[in-house]
Structure 1
Amino acid sequence: MSRLEAMDPSSPEYSISRTYLEIISDLPWKEPKAENFSIDSARKILERDHYGMKDVKDRILEFLAVRKKKQDTKGSIICLVGPPGVGKTSVGISIARALKKQYFRFSVGGMNDESEIKGHRRTYIGAMPGKIIQGLRITKVKNPVFLIDEIDKMGVSYQGDPASALLEVLDPEQNSTFRDTYLDIPFDVSEVLFICTANTLDTIPRPLLDRMEIIQLSGYTSEEKLAIGKKYLVPKSMEKHGLAKNEIKYSAAILRKIADEYAREAGVRNFEKSLHKINRKVALLLMENPQTDVPVVIDDKRLAEYLGEPIFAEDEIVKADRPGTAIGLAWTSMGGDTLIIEAQNTPGKGEVKLTGQLGEVMQESVSIAYTWIKAHALERKIDPSWFEQNAVHLHVPEGATPKDGPSAGITMTVALYSLVTGQVMAQNMAMTGELTLKGKVMPIGGLKEKVLAARRNKITTILIPQYNKRDLDKLDDNVKDGITFHLVGTIEQVLAYAFPDDESRPQMEKVAPPAQNTKEDIVAISAAVAQAVREALREH
């Protein structure tokens, strides 16, 4: 302050020093008041704001109960992980409301400059503190809720690594003396409740992941989407577009049709966009034709008129209806998905060609599957010479989308086995599981997301590793209803379910090798070619 008083107000250094002091004075230096919230009110807020999510709500309430009982606000970092549109950000906001706290939200998706987190040096023109200090200055309390979105999408550049900068912020042992580069004085951020969101854990650095408590959010079933549409999305969209309750009417069947045929995804974002589109068109209709009878009932005809033909038609459901095809289940950052694998043989000498942007792990799964079938050819009534006289091309459709992971191992094996034996796998069946070289089926992740994807594609039978029985038992009944699960431990069990008639299949006939020309044939052919050349030259 004394230095500022001695400066000339017209000096550039004066404005820099004044801004610096103003920021310091705006920060909440006082100790915060004790937290005053009840578990009952927190439960009501979570129930009112979100449908379903029983496991997630219970986990959050357990976290809040421990926080209240200990009266300890330090070291609180939560990471909500799930597909897009399942409500991660809104859950974080609900937690802030349950705690009766201010919240500050910012996204780190695409951020590649650590100065965004820790601030710039004051020597730079236009320097400013990082997001953490900015958030504290805006909320004006020392213990707000910070919502950090898209923590799995940070980048790295010559300007530094934001993920490394977050290590100090999210470490309970270090953040009591967090030092922003702009302020260059320690500030205690240990009482801030940090809530991070991500679509996948794969791209989050391990040291950063270790500092967070992970809460998984899964996708929604059709029944859950229907309930969310009725209770939250339809009223919210009608209010947004100025429609009264008596001006438009949706039936349960239409809402389900929108969810299944226009917004078949893990979350409800596209479901909400579809409702917005319908409501905009109804608002236009009512404004242009005030005499229109209300309520405007959304039926199949109006749905097709407003949204066009269904994006996900019934005939687009993937089917393994010919030899060389099999259906697997995949787990991506967008939720679960069904994966059809196609294999085709051509004359060759045992080559294997892979297309569909398969990652290294997936390519290794193909090699393991192919080797296992070759190694067990005789006991499976397969002629070993088939592999010497055929080349195999294996393709996973949607070639523009990169794919990787080991959980398609048994699906690859079934597709190749189907190709070699000429059998079609059992209908409405899908599978997931990693395969070892000795034929053992290993556990997988993301079971709920995969089961939801199977339901969306009318799958009635799913093969899963026996080691995933614990995950299967945790699934709600409405997720498992109508689906038969088979727990498998070996690839032999997988093949028995996929090809029920395989035992009665006759021995494969030995493939005749291609005819080899004898020495006499070669001499005769050479003489005929020479004679033809001489005659051609004679004519010229």
Structure 2
Amino acid sequence: MSEKEIIVAEQALPDKLFIVPLLGKPIFPGIFTPIMITSNDDIEIVNQAMENDKVIGLILLKEEDESATGPKDIYQVGTAAKIVKKINLPDGGVNIFISTVKRFRIRKFFTSEAPLIAAVDYLDDIVGSEQKDELKALTRSVISEMKQISEDNPLFSEEMRLNMVNIDNPGKIADFITSILNIDRVQQQQILEELDVRARMEKVLVFIKKEQDLLRIQKKIATQINEKIEKSQREYFLREEIKAIKKELGEPVDSKSSEYIKFKEMVDKLNFEGEIKEQVERELEKFALMDPSSSEYIVTRNYLETIVNLPWEEPKPDVIDIAKGEKILNHDHYGLDDVKERILEYLAVRKLKNDTKGSIIILVGPPGVGKTSIGKSVARALGREFFRFSVGGMRDEAEIKGHRRTYVGAMPGKIIQGLKIVKNKAPVFMIDEIDKLGQSYQGDPSSALLEVLDPEQNIAFRDHYLDLPFDLSHILFIATANTLDSIPRPLLDRMEIIRLSGYITDEKIEIAKRYLIPKSLKKHGLIKGQIAYNKTALRSIVDGYAREAGVRTFEKCIDKINRKAAKKIVMGTEELPIKISKDNLEGFLKKPYFRDDEIKRVSIPGMSLGLAWTSMGGDTLIIEAINIPGKSGLQLTGQMGDVMKESAAIAFSHVKQIAGDYGIKQEFFEKNVIHLHIPEGATPKDGPSAGITMATALISLATGKVIKKNLAMTGELSLTGKVLPIGGLKEKTIAAQRNKVKDIIIPKPNERDLDEIPAYIRKGITFHPVESLKEVLNLVF
């Protein structure tokens, strides 16, 4: 475009401009360039400008955010541009060729939202008459320095060099150089807003100097790299010469060759066949040709090392001694008779079948009941290696199936890693916390476990890192979980469930005597004669400090006592043995967490005691109900799940139906809001077993009668008043024992489950099987 055309364009510039916000960097005056327009608002601005005077205002956004297009989001100074040509693109966008003309400053906006229209004032360069000689010197200096940069930087084209020399206006030279230098967008905007030409030239000269410094550093780095490459090439040729000399002398060539020979010998011993043989030989050939300094050399070496260290040979048959297995289980664990029986049955089947393959076991129970230690005992009984890993919180399926070797730092999954560690094809693998598996964008580990735990599929398991079929069917997998609810159903179908309920007080005391106290004494450097526990002290610890289903808190209390005892022994403040009794227990453990008066009891009308099953074992639930005068309705609180809310609604409806049979007037429900609450509100509660407990609380509230003491109940209620069966009766019975309950109301269909509860757990409790709510109410009042 000629100088004459630019002058005409300047004369014709309008007072009002359509504003197009820019995301990247500002565009300076005197530049002819294409711009891609994709925003619908900006396309509308271009179309309107084409219909009028073809002039638009280009202003930089303060932040690189496409959604921010309001007056507050843009700078005040921009560049007016004449649209020379417009091309419509197939995707709906527009490509425009613009010739930028002049700076402008926004005086005011006519619109507050896109498309923006603003009144503008055009800005002229400020050149003082006394600055002409200084500007000439600055211009020469800028052009000279830029020539030096353009010679060192191949990105500067010949056309850029010519443009820079042919521009005769100092202000335009500064604008042109700013637009081609790699300067931050905010700093470029500051130069655009600078009207004093001398100040603008000085700022540009500073940026040129910075660019020269960067180029010098870049050149220095390139020289250093070239020197290193030349050095490595020289070393390579020297190494090759040394190899040739050693070969002539008949000496071992190098460490790499010796490693290749070592791998070759180990692979030959393993007698691979088919696909495995082809893949391993291919990797060996590749390894022989690789340069030891290359990164892929280490990857291939690690891969071959993993292969030769895996147990490929078929395992020897198990020598199973049932009597020995029973002795080991009885020695390692007190109680758990049904669990031991199931494991011994499993071992007997293995012995008869004379086969290492079989089902997958999952041990389900609350924390601290001995799930992990049972896995170790099974490994001892079978005489196998034991390997445990936890999948709790695992979110990446590569942890199970390995990473592909294309990734940096790739490694096999936990299964192959475990086999490499135990060096046996038939170990016992314990997969802990399988109910706490996670999911993420990296995959679903539970789906990866499906192949690992399926006896029909794991015969040819493929780890992503190994990428070879490996037989996992000889591994005895034992999984552990606190609850089955969060385990995906397809995964659970592959496992045989063995439940471990919690311990009652007598069992905990016996476990403490046999296992916890000797273990803790050894842990704290004490010997048997230095400290003595009596039975009442142990019972007080259970009742006052450790009422949970397992024995983990119980063990912590014993550890705490032994620590304090160790301190007294060292200081010599007490005579030996230090006796631990009920009377001096608070001196070691402070005040009890639980007191006898805190045992959940029913004391006023509107209260009832229910039994619940949780992932932490059995528990007792107090149901409370009160009536508030007002509109009729039912209000529920206490972190109830959807199933429990439905149970409450069913109980409420049925109680309203049978109210007349118990002398309750319908006015009670019509003129009162019934508020039903389960304390311990922060703990989520759900499940279909509290129906009769809620109904009993409502009847108790309406009649003003208090239910019998030391009585608890469990059972779901139907709309017609039938009592439906529940699960987890053993865990609930143990919870009842801990809370001194004497009578338990259970559904009639659950009567058959009583045989599975050991007699010592049922001792002192009377069970009342019922079929209807009417029978329940006859028992409780």
Give the structure 1 partner of residue 772 of structure 2.
Answer: 490
Which amino acid in structure 1 is aligned with residue 749 of structure 2? Y
Displacement of 1:409: 0.6
Give the structure 2 partner of residue 315 of structure 1.
Answer: 597
Give the structure 1 partner of residue 450 of structure 2.
Answer: 167
Checking the alignment, whether the CA contact within 8 Å between 1:355 and 1:394 is kept in structure 2 is yes
**In the alignment, is residue 203 of structure 1 matched against residue 486 of structure 2?**
yes
Give the structure 1 partner of residue 339 of structure 2.
Answer: 56
| Aligned mates of 2:707, 2:610 — CA distance in 1 | 12
Give the structure 1 partner of residue 294 of structure 2.
Answer: 11
| Aligned mates of 1:52, 1:219 — CA distance in 2 | 10
Q: Aligned residues, how many?
A: 498
**In the alignment, is residue 374 of structure 1 matched against residue 659 of structure 2?**
no
Give the structure 2 partner of residue 449 of structure 1.
Answer: 731
Give the structure 2 partner of residue 428 of structure 1.
Answer: 710
**In the alignment, is residue 148 of structure 1 matched against residue 435 of structure 2?**
no
Show structure 1 runs of 4+ deviating over 4 A: none
TM-score scaled by length of structure 2: 0.63
Give the structure 2 partner of residue 358 of structure 1.
Answer: 640
| Aligned mates of 1:454, 1:239 — CA distance in 2 | 35
Q: Does the residue aligned with 2:497 lie in a helix, a strand or coil?
A: strand
Which amino acid in structure 2 is aligned with residue 13 of structure 1? E
Displacement of 1:348: 1.7
Counterpart of 1:139 (choices 422, 443, 459) is 422
Counterpart of 2:544 (choices 261, 274, 277) is 261
Displacement of 1:377: 1.9
Give the structure 2 partner of residue 124 of structure 1.
Answer: 407
Counterpart of 1:35 (choices 304, 318, 331) is 318
Counterpart of 1:326 (choices 582, 590, 608) is 608
| Aligned mates of 1:380, 1:221 — CA distance in 2 | 38
Give the structure 1 partner of residue 36 of structure 2.
Answer: none
Displacement of 1:292: 3.0
| Aligned mates of 2:481, 2:517 — CA distance in 1 | 27
Displacement of 1:385: 1.8
Checking the alignment, whether the CA contact within 8 Å between 2:611 and 2:732 is kept in structure 1 is yes
Checking the alignment, whether the CA contact within 8 Å between 1:81 and 1:201 is kept in structure 2 is yes
Checking the alignment, whether the CA contact within 8 Å between 1:76 and 1:192 is kept in structure 2 is no
**In the alignment, is residue 288 of structure 1 matched against residue 571 of structure 2?**
yes
1:123-158 deviations in whole A, cap 9, x for unaligned?
111111000000000000100110010111111111
Displacement of 1:426: 1.1
Which amino acid in structure 1 is aligned with residue 708 of structure 2? A
CA RMSD of aligned residues (A): 0.9
| Aligned mates of 2:353, 2:568 — CA distance in 1 | 58
Matches within 5 A, 1:508-523: none
**In the alignment, is residue 388 of structure 1 matched against residue 674 of structure 2?**
no
Give the structure 1 partner of residue 697 of structure 2.
Answer: 415
1:366-401 deviations in whole A, cap 9, x for unaligned?
100000011112223211121111001111001111
TM-score scaled by length of structure 1: 0.91
1:169-197 deviations in whole A, cap 9, x for unaligned?
00011000000011111100010000001
| Aligned mates of 2:659, 2:520 — CA distance in 1 | 60
Displacement of 1:72: 1.4
| Aligned mates of 2:333, 2:650 — CA distance in 1 | 44
Give the structure 1 partner of residue 746 of structure 2.
Answer: 464
Which amino acid in structure 1 is aligned with residue 606 of structure 2? G
Displacement of 1:351: 1.8
Give the structure 2 partner of residue 92 of structure 1.
Answer: 375
Checking the alignment, whether the CA contact within 8 Å between 1:75 and 1:171 is kept in structure 2 is no
User: Which one has a larger percent helix, Structure 1 or Structure 2?
Assistant: 2
| Aligned mates of 2:318, 2:477 — CA distance in 1 | 16
| Aligned mates of 1:354, 1:462 — CA distance in 2 | 25
| Aligned mates of 2:763, 2:503 — CA distance in 1 | 14
Give the structure 2 partner of residue 102 of structure 1.
Answer: 385
Point out where structure 1 has 5 or more consecutive residues left out of the alignment: 500-540
Checking the alignment, whether the CA contact within 8 Å between 1:103 and 1:146 is kept in structure 2 is yes
Counting aligned pairs with the same residue, the percent is 62
Give the structure 1 partner of residue 511 of structure 2.
Answer: 228
Checking the alignment, whether the CA contact within 8 Å between 1:443 and 1:465 is kept in structure 2 is yes
| Aligned mates of 1:160, 1:486 — CA distance in 2 | 50
Counterpart of 2:356 (choices 66, 73, 90) is 73
Which amino acid in structure 1 is aligned with residue 595 of structure 2? A
Displacement of 1:255: 1.0
| Aligned mates of 1:75, 1:38 — CA distance in 2 | 18
Which amino acid in structure 2 is aligned with residue 351 of structure 1? G
Which amino acid in structure 1 is aligned with residue 363 of structure 2? L
1:428-464 deviations in whole A, cap 9, x for unaligned?
1100001111111111111111111111111111100
Give the structure 2 partner of residue 45 of structure 1.
Answer: 328
| Aligned mates of 1:63, 1:400 — CA distance in 2 | 41
| Aligned mates of 1:238, 1:158 — CA distance in 2 | 47
| Aligned mates of 1:383, 1:143 — CA distance in 2 | 71
Checking the alignment, whether the CA contact within 8 Å between 1:148 and 1:196 is kept in structure 2 is yes
Give the structure 1 partner of residue 41 of structure 2.
Answer: none
Displacement of 1:418: 0.8
Q: Does the residue aligned with 1:376 lie in a helix, a strand or coil?
A: helix
| Aligned mates of 2:358, 2:762 — CA distance in 1 | 37
Give the structure 2 partner of residue 473 of structure 1.
Answer: 755
Displacement of 1:260: 1.6
Q: Does the residue aligned with 1:379 lie in a helix, a strand or coil?
A: helix
Which amino acid in structure 2 is aligned with residue 62 of structure 1? E
Point out where structure 2 has 5 or more consecutive residues left out of the alignment: 1-283
| Aligned mates of 1:300, 1:60 — CA distance in 2 | 38
Displacement of 1:339: 0.2
